[in-house]
Amino acid sequence: MPGFKLDRRGLLKSGAVLGAGLAMPTIFTGRANAFTNEPTGSSVTLGFNVPQSGAYADEGADELRAYELAVEHLNGGGDGGMMNTFSSKALQGNGILGKKIEYVTGDTQTKSDTARASAKSMIEKDGAVMITGGSSSGVAVAVQALCQEAGVIFMAGLTHSNDTTGKDKKANGFRHFFNSYMSGAALAPVLERNYGSDRKAYHLTADYNWGYTTEEAIRSSTEALGWETVEAVKTPLAATDFSAYITPVLQSDADVLVLNHYGANMVNSLTNAVQFGLRDRMVNGKNFEIVVPLYSRLMAKGAGANVKGIFGSTNWHWSLTDDASKAFVQSFGTKYGFPPSQAAHTCYVQALLYADAVERAGSFNPCAVVEALEGYEFDGLGNGPTLYRAEDHQCFKDVLVVRGKENPTSEFDLLEIVEVTPVAQVTYAPDHPQFAGGQLGACNPGA
């Protein structure tokens, strides 16, 4: 087409225009609001970003149920659940600061890219002022960093890796769930009491970030008891058949097998281990034992009778008998017909804690919320007295050590609580080596 000749003069001209365009950053100014997505109408939007497909879809579905329940309670519907037992009475049941809560949902697919895309669309399109959810540490870390950049609050869902509030901690991110270190610290004394201090452990570890930090935590706390770690083998996350990894265990002189696996991985590896007769073995004159550091009811259900007598740790269990847990199980059960999982519990609590922090701060501004949550002590949410530590935004509370029940009475009654490990025993210094290397930074309100 003859009209599109680009001569020297034209090039100079367009170059000048382009340059002028680039040199005018004032054109691109952010929103006029005081902070990202400041709610101005009669409602406020929260973003529930959970895995609805993929390996953790079960957990995700339960998380979403919990969020819907929390929104119902916060908006004044239902029986109020744990709002009645919560030590803070700032919540009135009229939404948050009088604004009705609306929510948007997204599917993380347990992939950090997808989770971030979903969270970004909640922030940019739907105007969400807080993002919560997730069922894997990789996703939690990725979304937490995004929320820090965008200037919204992130209330982590189920994430157990040390890094979420360790080397990847962020000022805008908060975690209620416990972590690998706490699992190790809570399990070790129980293991010593039941299995003695002279054991040889063999670790099978899921080959990703959470697996590494869990292995490290369990190793260091059991080695402190006098246990010896014979071997630690990494298994691919996508593996479904673990027999090739179990056979070497039979040939070693280990007498304890630690499965640093979660979800379907743990179901399969434990089933394989039991099939290979590990639990009937006698090594070094001792009965062979299996330990699963992070337990959940959904996993116990998948592994069936194989979990009987196996120790592990958990954040919360529906059979707890304090008022708060009973109130939560009651209202969740009424609505959905079965007891909530620990994932549901932590998500429900996170939603309540966020709403309460906004109420107390009197503002949705992320910096005000951060200030309200930092160093906040509360009770009545199912875990006893709890502290949101200011240094790393990690909750410190009692940890449950559980064991697979020998005679379950129903399909939900699979775990029994062996011990409630007091919070002092699982507390660590913020600069503990397993958590070192991160910086919280300053809160970012966006805009």
Partner 1 sequence: MLKLDKKDMRLFIIVALMTILAPFILNPFPEGSGLAQFNAGYPDLMQRFVIFGIFAIGFNILFGLTGYLSFGHAAFLGVGSYAAIWMMKLLTMNVIPAIIASVAIAGVFALVVGFISLRRSGIYFSILTLAFAQMSFAMAYSVLTPITGGETGLQPKVNDPRILDAALAPGATPSAGLFGLEMRDSYELALGNWLFTFNFGYYFAAALMLVAFYTSMRIFRSPFGMMLRGVKSNQQRLNYTGLNSKPYTLAAFVISGMYAGLAGGLLVAMDTQVGPERMFWTASGEVVLMTILGGAGTLIGPVLGAGFIKYMENIISKINESILHQWFYWLPDGLEDLVVGMIYPFIGKGWHLTLGIMFMLVVIFLPGGLVEGGQRIGRWVRGKGRKADATGDKKSTASTPAE
CA distance 349 to 353: 6
> Which CB, 28 or 282, lies closer to partner 1?
28
| Least CB distance to partner 1 at residue 238 (A) | 9
Binding of residue 117 to partner 1 (CB under 8 A): yes
Comparing C-alpha atoms, which of 53, 57, 52, 35 is closest to residue 44?
Answer: 35
Stretch that binds partner 1, among 89-97, 110-118, 302-310, 388-396 (CB under 8 A): 110-118
Binding of residue 337 to partner 1 (CB under 8 A): no
The one-letter amino acid code at 426 reads V
> Which CB, 219 or 403, lies closer to partner 1?
219
> Which CB, 88 or 118, lies closer to partner 1?
118
- The residue within the footprint of partner 1, chosen from 53, 194, 197, 287 (CB under 8 A), is 53
> Which CB, 28 or 251, lies closer to partner 1?
28
- The residue within the footprint of partner 1, chosen from 178, 181, 212, 388 (CB under 8 A), is 212
Stretch that binds partner 1, among 111-119, 176-184, 302-310, 412-420 (CB under 8 A): 111-119
Stretch that binds partner 1, among 98-106, 177-185, 348-356, 375-383 (CB under 8 A): 98-106
- The residue within the footprint of partner 1, chosen from 90, 225, 237, 417 (CB under 8 A), is 237
Binding of residue 27 to partner 1 (CB under 8 A): yes
Angle between the N-to-C axes of helices 209-225 and 180-195, in degrees from 0 to 180, rounded to the nearest 10 = 40
> Which CB, 120 or 317, lies closer to partner 1?
120
- The residue within the footprint of partner 1, chosen from 1, 20, 424, 429 (CB under 8 A), is 1
Binding of residue 112 to partner 1 (CB under 8 A): yes
- The residue within the footprint of partner 1, chosen from 76, 97, 100, 121 (CB under 8 A), is 121
| Least CB distance to partner 1 at residue 116 (A) | 6
| Least CB distance to partner 1 at residue 430 (A) | 16
State the distance between the two ends of the chain, measured CA to CA, in whole angstroms: 46
Q: Which of the residues 151 through 170 are near partner 1 (CB under 8 A)?
A: 161, 163, 168
| Least CB distance to partner 1 at residue 163 (A) | 6
> Which CB, 161 or 306, lies closer to partner 1?
161
- The residue within the footprint of partner 1, chosen from 72, 80, 189, 234 (CB under 8 A), is 234
Binding of residue 209 to partner 1 (CB under 8 A): yes
Question: Buried b / exposed e across 233-264, counting CB within 10 Å, b at 16+?
Answer: ebbebebeebeebbeebeeeebbbbbbbbbbb
- The residue within the footprint of partner 1, chosen from 8, 9, 20, 22 (CB under 8 A), is 22
> Which CB, 52 or 427, lies closer to partner 1?
52
The residues, ordered by sequence, that sit 6+ positions from 180 with a Cβ below 8 Å of its Cβ are 160, 161, 162, 210, 213, 214, 216, 217, 218, 293, 294, 434
- The residue within the footprint of partner 1, chosen from 178, 202, 210, 348 (CB under 8 A), is 210
| Least CB distance to partner 1 at residue 385 (A) | 31
Q: What does the binding site for partner 1 look like in residue numbers (CB under 8 A)?
A: 1, 4-6, 22, 25, 27-31, 52-53, 57, 104-107, 111-114, 116-118, 120-121, 124-125, 136-138, 141-142, 145-146, 148-150, 161, 163, 168, 207-210, 212, 234, 236-237, 439, 441-442, 444
